[in-house]
Structure 1
Amino acid sequence: MTDGDALLGKVPLVLLTGPSGAGRSTAIKALEDAGFETIDNLPLGLLPRLLSGQPPKRPMALSLDVRNRDFSPTAIIDALELVDDLPSVAPELLYLDCRAEVLRRRYNETRRNHPLDRAENPNDGIERELTLLEDVRARATVLMETSELTPHELRHAVQSRFAPQKDQAIGITVQSFSYKRGLPQGADLVLDCRFLHNPHWKKELRDMDGGDAPVGSYIATDSGYDPYVKSIQVLLEQTLPGYVREGRNHLQIAFGCTGGKHRSVFMAETIAESLANRGWRVSIRHRELNRYAVLGARPRIAEDGE
């Protein structure tokens, strides 16, 4: 939802979809708890009737999936075009993406049948559904990768994106990642740490990670470290207010290094701490370490200590 939409009084309308097992139940519950009026597994044929009366008074989220008897990619795209033409709502298509091997593992762990293949092995159903949803995925306005997210992390990611804290106009996620495993989907700013001293080549530091003090102290001895941190702080001080003015309600900052264990973790922790000290509420995710945390906004401290 843009700043212009807010000025026009448009109500957020989220169409939520994605492959079975990607986390739709968690996401729709997170939106409900954030104040959205939610409908799970809405028959698409009822959507025009639902929206033809009085415009929604509060944010609305509709979960759409293959369990629905009239589900099809064409029907979802038609639904998106229908809501795009409504003057009273600001629609977004949220697609929860997930890798096939992760979906297979989740189905094996829960021993549930896939809705597209009631046989004992869900593999065929997973492949059919991912193929079926390719065109829908391409039309998504928000693509959220859930393969590495716990239910708690997914819940926070959804609420940060669609219902940020009332005392803060934008939700910020700072994460670390490994370039060997690919860029994190949805990242707005990607920053490379691979030029800094690499603790991997120090035997005494190799088994530690960027959250350990000796690792951070070693990285900080790099002559490029201080200028790099200061330049990022200046960049964020200049750009964050602009994102807020534009109506952005979430920003994801990603720091990458070779293994995602040392330099990127330390930089993510350093910048997240800096943002929290400047009054921002920040969530931290270390993708390769499978860790997650939230830093509350801290009172600004003047340079004289008062």
Structure 2
Amino acid sequence: MQLVLISGLSGSGKSVALNVMEDCGHYVVDNLPSALLPQLVSHLRGAGYQRIAVAVDVRSGAGIVSLPKQVEALRGMVDDLRFLFLDARDDVLIARFSETRRRHPLGDAFSTLGEAIAREREELALIAELGQRIDTSDLAANTLRNWIKNFMNLEAGSQIAVLFQSFGFKHGIPLDADLVFDVRCLPNPHYDPLLRPLTGRDQPVIDFLEKVPEVGQMVDDIYAFVASWLPAYVNDNRSYLTIAIGCTGGQHRSVYVAEQLAARFQDNARVQVRHRSFK
């Protein structure tokens, strides 16, 4: 049996995630009190269901604080348990609530929307570390759907899943990053008019960067650091590690470095690559 738990901030895209799970053939349950998770799993197993997706968040009430312990217990009940936590910046969440005109679950007549979001973020702080965290601040709905599908296609196993994610500092640092490396000190292909419209996956940009010794040294140094500390994350029972590589616009240098690192770690971990600044 596979159990996918989905949590996160209100307005971060949990409904999108649930729709993806349902489209993939999962039995979907929204807004289930976390205390009922063991009973739900037992009941659905008896009914013959093999894939379940459940949204658990602050709507479940005070019982949400016991979710970390319940997750450990659930790991002994199912063959494959995955936890997805969706997050977004406060300003993005406020804009989304303003657009939809929906009421925040923790909103009341005595607090602002910003205060309700801050309270929710505080209540979910421990839960955010339970599994894969995705920052949806700058993601279109279709991009989020694709990322979730990639998350679900990860093969179950003992290897840690390492995600290399390129981004542009001018768009902000991703909230889901565990490690952040800044490669803005490297020569920028943006200043070459012929390379400007290309990305770090295009051969002319690759050729440009491979001719610069400092670029190779940067890749080597980041690889050595991550390779050295990856066992510590494995020993800490981490299932996922997100490594963000940032340049100014997130189009050339960070993309190239993320692709290079992903290729080097293919034999050491389950590797994914994402690029935030283009599809």
Tell me the TM-score normalized by structure 1: 0.64
Question: Hey, what does 1:63 align to over in structure 2?
Answer: 55
Query: Aligned match of 2:64 in 69, 73, 76?
Result: 76
Query: Aligned match of 1:146 in 136, 139, 149?
Result: 136
Question: Hey, what does 1:88 align to over in structure 2?
Answer: 77
Distance in 2 of aligned mates of 1:12 and 1:112: 35
Distance in 2 of aligned mates of 1:247 and 1:80: 14
| Higher helix content, 1 or 2 | 2
- Contact 1:275-1:282 within 8 A present in 2 as well: yes
Q: How many residues align?
A: 270
Counterparts of residues 173-188 of structure 1 (less than 5 Å): 173-179=163-169, 183-187=173-177
Counterparts of residues 149-228 of structure 1 (less than 5 Å): 149-164=139-154, 173-179=163-169, 183-187=173-177, 190-199=180-189, 202=191, 204=193, 208=197, 210-211=199-200, 215-226=205-216, 228=218
- Secondary structure of the corresponding residue to residue 156 of structure 1: helix
Distance change (3 Å), C-alpha of 1:25 and 1:281: same
Gaps of 5+ in 1: 1-10, 293-306
Q: How much has 1:128 moved relative to structure 2?
A: 1.0
Distance change (3 Å), C-alpha of 1:118 and 1:175: closer
State the structure with bigger RCO (CA 8 A, min sep 6), 1 or 2.
Answer: 2
Residue deviations 1:106-161, cap 9 Å, x none?
Answer: 2344x332244899xxx934531441341223233123211112222222322333
Gaps of 5+ in 2: none
1:127 equivalenced with 2:127 (yes/no):
no
Distance in 1 of aligned mates of 2:151 and 2:142: 14
Distance in 2 of aligned mates of 1:94 and 1:42: 15
Residue deviations 1:219-254, cap 9 Å, x none?
Answer: 3321233455577789999999xx99x998766443
Question: Hey, what does 2:257 align to over in structure 1?
Answer: 267
Distance change (3 Å), C-alpha of 1:98 and 1:171: same
Residue identity in the other structure for 1:63: A
Residue deviations 1:187-238, cap 9 Å, x none?
Answer: 45644433422345x4647954544665544333212334555777899999
- Secondary structure of the corresponding residue to residue 137 of structure 1: coil
Q: How much has 1:35 moved relative to structure 2?
A: 4.3
Tell me the TM-score normalized by structure 2: 0.69
CA RMSD across the alignment: 4.6
- Contact 1:15-1:61 within 8 A present in 2 as well: yes
- Contact 1:180-1:259 within 8 A present in 2 as well: yes
Query: Aligned match of 1:285 in 271, 274, 277?
Result: 274
Residue deviations 1:49-104, cap 9 Å, x none?
Answer: 434557575242211345x5xx32x2112344344334313655532111121123
Residue identity in the other structure for 1:154: L
- Tell me which structure has the larger Cα radius of gyration: 1
Calculate percent identity across the aligned residue pairs. Answer: 35
Distance change (3 Å), C-alpha of 1:100 and 1:225: closer
Distance in 2 of aligned mates of 1:44 and 1:231: 43
- Contact 1:19-1:96 within 8 A present in 2 as well: yes
Question: Hey, what does 1:29 align to over in structure 2?
Answer: 19
Residue identity in the other structure for 1:223: P
- Secondary structure of the corresponding residue to residue 160 of structure 1: helix
Residue identity in the other structure for 1:149: L
1:113 equivalenced with 2:105 (yes/no):
no
Question: Hey, what does 1:13 align to over in structure 2?
Answer: 3
